[in-house]
């Protein structure tokens, strides 16, 4: 315990003097000291309620006989950062969060940790830190936002971005756009569809690091406060039993997470974060494993942007545990794995029930017999690329068309809004990868513009960057190797025919090997100039997307 290393004994008197400066009593220092990592801030809607979650966790820890001590983690709002230079600073925070949490814990010592994230990079960043530190840890997030309502229909942030495209195309007027603006995001919480934040929060339950309901109980519900108190109490049990993250996040647990990802229809960003988490756990992660699991796992949920249901609906239908119980009927899960409840996954889901088959389909009536994500390979992406096939219109699962090539997201958006994209086109956005961006920006603005203009069933997008969990349509990201590393995407020209076959997991640039070699010789790689600060350091150290865009240590 911390008191054995830092508190007890004459040689630790200087440390005790500083604990006295904090106002801590001898009684408090005699108990297990629990670090509470709070991502609270006043700029991210998913984090504005984390002060209340943090206080509830503090109460839970104290009620169970521990001493809670809070310290912060940063957070970026992907929605606010979207479409400008700010998005370069989104993915990169995942490693800042992991590294800074590691630094705080190693410098001060704690007997256990409660992680309080909510949005896109905080959840995986803190899961990475938990694995790296490997002291008893539990997660409790801030919870999802309630769905908005426009014209009597539920809506969300993705609808808001698509409304901009509809407005630019003259399909709605300024008054309607303003109505979306005022109603799409009605409460605190992580945006209300199965976007990246909610995907990762759901996967904390599957990985065994969060209690039941952590992924789905809405942020505005009092049940979220109760969950936080329960997490605060449960960390004391984990400390007592010395159950650690690496006892929980095993290879079997990672495979369970991929399986649940396929059933839920999670964000493609999970294919960046799960490899990064697995790396910290010492578990090998091969993208080919994704297709292997997908082939066996039916897609049971079509939450926004794939369909008309939202996180609040999944919660009412029985939540993540109900989905797990459903797919366990096919024997797809390892239910013997340990979890933060102190019980196995099988024990956790034994009483789960599917309460609404319109939200969680049964394994006998899935949306598709294969999972929500597919990894494609071919001469355009030798190391793979990723698509959320559950959000692709059936007519776009197989597509062939001419490339229209853009060197940045800004160039692509300008072309889309100017009406230069036609039915059948394949929009290629390059030099937006982890190193080339740098920062691997999400492309929600161009995908939403195309969807809002009604072209999502006719146009594909391909990038070495990534797509938001709010993206729908034939949006294929994480193309590896990326352009700045000399990947084939760097040598695509306007008019080249690109063939996409999602059911066959293939993506091909229809030129000969000789032509590709000729282009490699004549077309220079374009590297961005004047990159400074953290982005420069990140670009020099980051791996390719197929490895999870991890920092090479």
Contact (Cβ atoms closer than 8 angstroms) between residue 434 and residue 272: no
**Cα(245)–Cα(243) distance, rounded to whole angstroms?**
7
**C-alpha separations of 81 from 189, 304, 447, 462, 468 in Å:** 17, 21, 16, 21, 12
Q: Which of 67, 221, 207, 44 is nearest to 139 (CA)?
A: 207
> Hey, what are 94's tokens?
């995942």
**C-alpha separations of 533 from 86, 212, 438, 537 in Å:** 14, 40, 12, 7
**Cα(4)–Cα(493) distance, rounded to whole angstroms?**
64
Which residue among the candidates 468, 475, 480, 544 is catalytic per the annotation?
Answer: 468
Q: Is the dihedral of CA 87, 195, 216, 188 positive or negative?
A: positive
Contact (Cβ atoms closer than 8 angstroms) between residue 204 and residue 214: yes
Collapsing DSSP to helix, strand or coil, 367 comes out as coil
Q: What is the CA radius of gyration of the chain?
A: 23
112-116 vs 33-38, strand pairing mode: parallel
468 assigned to active site = yes
Q: Is the dihedral of CA 182, 465, 207, 297 positive or negative?
A: positive
Q: Quick one: CA torsion of 127, 72, 88, 537, rounded to 10 degrees?
A: -80
Query: Environment class of residue 319 by beta-carbon count within 10 Å: exposed (0-12), middle (13-18) or buried (19+)?
Result: buried
Length, in residues, of the chain: 553
The set of catalytic residues is: 468
């Amino acid at each position: 315990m911390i008191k054995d290393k830092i508190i007890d004994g004459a040689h630790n008197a200087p440390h005790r003097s500083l604990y006295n400066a904090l106002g801590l009593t001898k009684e408090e220092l005699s108990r297990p000291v629990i670090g509470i990592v709070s991502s609270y801030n006043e700029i991210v809607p998913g984090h504005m309620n984390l002060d209340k979650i943090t206080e509830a966790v503090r109460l839970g820890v104290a009620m169970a006989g521990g001493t809670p001590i809070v310290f912060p983690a940063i957070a970026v709002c992907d929605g606010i950062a979207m479409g400008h230079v700010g998005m370069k600073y989104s993915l990169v925070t995942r490693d800042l969060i992991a590294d800074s949490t590691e630094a705080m814990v190693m410098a001060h010592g704690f007997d256990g940790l409660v992680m309080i994230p909510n949005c896109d990079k905080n959840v995986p960043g803190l899961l990475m830190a938990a694995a790296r530190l490997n002291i008893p840890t539990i997660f409790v997030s801030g919870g999802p936002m309630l769905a908005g309502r426009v014209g009597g229909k539920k809506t969300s942030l993705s609808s808001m971005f698509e409304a901009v495209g509809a407005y630019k195309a003259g399909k709605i007027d300024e008054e309607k756009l303003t109505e979306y603006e005022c109603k799409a995001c009605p409460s605190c919480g992580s945006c209300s569809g199965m976007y990246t934040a909610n995907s990762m929060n759901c996967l904390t339950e599957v990985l065994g690091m969060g209690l039941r309901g952590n992924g789905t109980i809405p942020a505005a519900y009092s049940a979220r406060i109760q969950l936080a108190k329960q997490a605060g109490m449960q960390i004391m049990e984990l400390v007592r039993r010395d159950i650690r993250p690496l006892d929980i996040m095993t290879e079997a647990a990672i495979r369970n997470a991929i399986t649940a990802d396929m059933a839920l229809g999670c964000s493609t960003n999970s294919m960046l974060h799960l490899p990064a988490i697995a790396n910290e756990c010492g578990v090998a992660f091969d993208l080919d494993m994704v297709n292997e699991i997908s082939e066996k796992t039916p897609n049971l949920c079509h939450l926004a942007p794939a369909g008309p249901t939202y996180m609040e609906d999944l919660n009412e239908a029985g939540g993540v545990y109900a989905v797990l119980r459903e797919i366990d009927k096919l024997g797809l899960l390892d239910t013997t794995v340990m979890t933060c409840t102190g019980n196995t996954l099988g024990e956790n889901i034994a009483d789960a029930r599917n309460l609404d088959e319109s939200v969680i389909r049964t394994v006998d009536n899935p949306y598709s017999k294969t999972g929500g994500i597919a990894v494609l390979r071919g001469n355009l992406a030798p190391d793979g690329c990723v698509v959320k096939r559950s959000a692709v219109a059936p007519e776009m699962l197989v597509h062939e068309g001419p490339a229209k090539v853009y060197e940045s997201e800004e160039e692509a958006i300008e072309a889309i809004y100017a009406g230069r994209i036609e039915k059948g086109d394949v929009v290629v956005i390059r030099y937006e990868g982890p190193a080339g961006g740098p920062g691997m920006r999400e492309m929600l603005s161009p995908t939403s513009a195309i969807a809002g203009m009604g072209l999502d069933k006719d146009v594909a997008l391909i990038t070495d960057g990534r797509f938001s969990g709010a993206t729908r349509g034939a949006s294929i990201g994480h193309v590896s190797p990326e352009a700045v590393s000399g990947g084939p995407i760097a040598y695509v020209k306007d008019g080249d025919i690109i063939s996409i076959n999602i059911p066959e997991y293939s993506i091909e640039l229809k030129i000969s090997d000789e032509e590709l070699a000729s282009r490699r010789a004549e077309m220079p790689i374009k590297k961005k100039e004047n990159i400074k600060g953290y982005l420069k350091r990140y670009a020099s150290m980051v791996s390719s997307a197929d490895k999870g865009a991890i920092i090479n240590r």
